[in-house]
Amino acid sequence: MSPNSLATAAVVLAYLIGSIPFAYVIVRAVKGIDIRTVGSGNVGATNASRVLGLKGFLAVFLLDLLKGLLPTIGFPALVRYYGGHAAGDLPILIALATILGHNFPVYLQFRGGKGVATSLGALLGLDWMAALVAVVVFGVSLRVNRYVSLSSVVGALAFVVVHFAEVIFLEKKSAWDRDHLAFSVLTLGLFAMLIWRHRKNWARIREGTEPKISRRRRAPSGRAATWLLAFMAVVGVVALLAMRLTRTASVDCGPFTLVDVGRVKTGHQRAIRPVFAEGGRVLGVLCPRYNRLMIYRVADDRSLTLTSDVMLDGQPMALSATRQGFLVLERPSGDSRHIMPGNLQGYDFDGKKTGVNVSVGYYPSEMAVIDDASAALVLTTGLAEGNAKLGLPALEVVDLKLGRVVSRVPFDRAGDNPWRISVASNERNVAVALQGSNEVAAIDLTDRSQPVLLGRTPLSAGRVPYPSIAGDEWILMPVESDRDFALAPAPGLARPVNPLIDYVVSVQVDESTLEVRKLASSATLGTLPLRGSGNFTEIRPTGVACSPERGLIAVTSRSGGVHMIAMQPKDGGSVGKIAGHVEGHAESRLK
């Protein structure tokens, strides 16, 4: 089922849930009375209290609140989980659907309540802070004037004021920009509808016939107090749950802030090797458990839309992007991997195979694309996997134009197992990390038909790679850590990485975090917690990629999810100021 179909179904279901007339059902079940014939005739908590008392009021109010809250926070998550994408405004549409369902229920010929409790629940799911302020203001107003109708509108006005204040003064943005327009319209629309739905109450207030909440001097009975405390406890738990479910993870990293802006499920267990392409407009992800290549389009609102779910011929090990598409390094599936070599296969951005199809060595594990995607460097582990007949582990140089391996550098020491490759900025030198022997092999690729092994150095025990700089050239030296990492130029700077001013972001399987470090100094700038469904569970991150052009980071997880994280400039979006900040910092270091 497509994301759009799922979203449509979610909105319809939200309306049907919102239409459930709990006041009508409970009063009919307890007293056998049609609540529409009692008191104000309204199908809501206040009118239910006239028949059932405080307990009836609390029961109806809580159920009406939950039918607004739960679909608003739950349905968008379900659409993302099963459809791989949920529109940014879907929670607002679902909130509106639940409120309209309560006010105009299909089960009661579209004659429903006034929507106070359901609106509060829906708005708790959208903006818990403003909703809680509205509750407090409602309580104070009710204490002063004793009109439920008037206090409801006063509380709603407080929500409107706090919402716009949050956007304008805290986020320092316009309430009418693309990110806030729908919610701002909903806020004002609900406020106007609430005033209109209470139009009869205004007339009764003017005439002095509107009922007031009585001020009894004696303390409430023990049973009433118990029910009131229980109700307050439930509302508090619901509010805390809403806060947890809707909280957006963020961390201050100096000139920019990391913000978790979205999550999708690939639908396959274990996602690895995210790679951006086309200036951050396309994202590729591998799912090795089921031999899949997932290709997503990255929208302007940073959401992901799945465009291709490609079944590969073998088990994917590594992924690289070119101008035309993706290159996938594959091992043969099943037992065939022990007797057949690996393969390098090209795919366009629609997931169709291209003319690139090159046989490489046995047990390929890693690759890098160089020279404007005219060549690829492939690491093969060979006998390091336990089969002496498959040749030595090696670095293989693949000419993608010729479609064949043109040279190789074998690694012949005991324990040599190449697992990570780093290419120098001049693309003439390569560093290969060797597990087992715990060394780094330096290779000269000036003549790619005859590469030269220059020597070996001990493998550093650092947490993330560090830059080795010689004049205008530099290379990231690999380390023992198995953290996956990505280079992150300052947000919006589409240029080659500069180790003096840029950053490195890294994840680790056993740490549910994304860490940002200054590349030159290795100083930690911030650590972003990564959470799973409902912000309750941790994830096990497996890979990370960065799009400097769009200031985006993608993190894959062992559960098959993809997190989208934005590098948001502190000044509200000016890339130039960030560039000046980091360039100035680099110049001060050089001086």
Could you give the CA distance from residue 328 to residue 344 in angstroms, rounded to a whole number?
A: 6
pLDDT recorded at residue 85: 56
Those residues whose C-beta lies under 8 Å from the C-beta of residue 392, and which sit 6 or more positions away, are 382, 383, 410, 411, 412, 416
Determine the angle formed by the axes of helices 128-145 and 148-165, rounding to 10 degrees: 150
Domains (ranges, CATH) in the chain?
3-211+222-246 (no CATH), 250-590 (2.130.10.10)
Dihedral sign computed on CA atoms, order 100, 105, 111, 112: negative
Three-state DSSP class for residue 454 = strand
3-state helix vs strand vs coil in the chain, percent to 5: 40, 30, 30
Q: b vs e for 466-492, b when ≥16 Cβ sit within 10 Å of the residue's Cβ?
A: bbeeeeeebbbbbbebebbbbbbbbbb
pLDDT recorded at residue 508: 78
Question: How far apart, in Å, do the first and last CA atoms of the chain sit?
Answer: 59
pTM of the full predicted structure?
0.64
pLDDT recorded at residue 511: 75
Run of H or E including 192: helix 181-197
pLDDT in tens, the chain (591 residues): 676 788 899 999 999 999 999 999 999 999 999 999 988 888 998 889 888 888 888 899 999 999 999 999 888 878 766 765 555 688 999 999 999 999 999 999 998 988 899 999 999 888 888 888 888 888 888 888 888 888 889 989 999 998 898 888 876 678 887 778 889 999 999 999 989 988 888 888 888 888 787 655 444 445 555 555 565 556 655 655 555 555 667 888 877 888 888 888 898 889 999 999 999 999 999 999 999 999 999 998 888 999 999 999 999 999 999 999 999 999 998 888 888 999 999 999 999 999 899 999 999 999 999 998 899 999 999 876 666 778 899 999 999 999 999 999 999 998 899 999 999 989 999 999 998 899 999 999 999 999 999 999 999 988 888 888 888 888 989 998 888 999 887 655 545 566 666 888 998 777 788 999 888 887 888 888 887 765 567 788 999 999 988 889 999 999 899 999 998 886 544 333 333 333 333 333 323
Q: Shortest CA distance to 27 belongs to which of 63, 60, 58, 64? A: 60
Could you give the CA distance from residue 224 to residue 458 in angstroms, rounded to a whole number?
A: 74
Instruction: State the Rg of the chain over Cα.
Output: 30
